[in-house]
């Protein structure tokens, strides 16, 4: 029973906080500082997205190199098995 009341109290506090933040954040229009901050954030997001794309490209390159290495290694193992088989005869 206490857990239910505690959960309700936590939910009420969260809703109250969210409602307060929502009402406090509402204005008719943003000022210049807010617009500048928004532009800075947009530039930062674009930069981070470019970094993510660059890193994904680098990861793809490394994954391809690993796959190529694994294919060569498998071929070596297959060749070794053939040689061992022929030597055993």
Domain residues of the chain, as ranges? Answer: 2-88
Read off the pLDDT band of 28 (50, 70, 90).
confident
Per-residue pLDDT reduced to its tens digit, 71-85: 999 999 999 999 999
Tell which wins on pLDDT, 47 or 19: 47
Sign of CA dihedral 32, 41, 46, 22: negative
Phi and psi, residue 29, nearest 5° = -160, 150
pTM for the predicted model, two decimal places: 0.54
pLDDT at 30: 87
Distance CA 18, CA 14 (A): 6
Per-residue pLDDT reduced to its tens digit, 30-55: 899 999 999 999 999 999 999 999 99
Which run of H or of E encompasses 3? helix 2-25
């Amino acid at each position: 029973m206490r857990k239910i009341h505690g959960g309700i109290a936590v939910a009420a506090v969260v809703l109250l906080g969210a409602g307060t933040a929502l009402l406090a954040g509402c204005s008719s229009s943003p000022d210049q500082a807010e617009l500048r901050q928004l532009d800075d954030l947009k530039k930062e997001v674009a930069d981070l997205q470019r970094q993510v794309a660059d890193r994904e490209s680098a990861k793809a390159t490394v994954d391809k190199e690993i796959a190529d290495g694994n294919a060569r290694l498998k071929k070596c193992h297959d060749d070794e098995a053939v040689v061992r088989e022929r030597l055993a005869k």
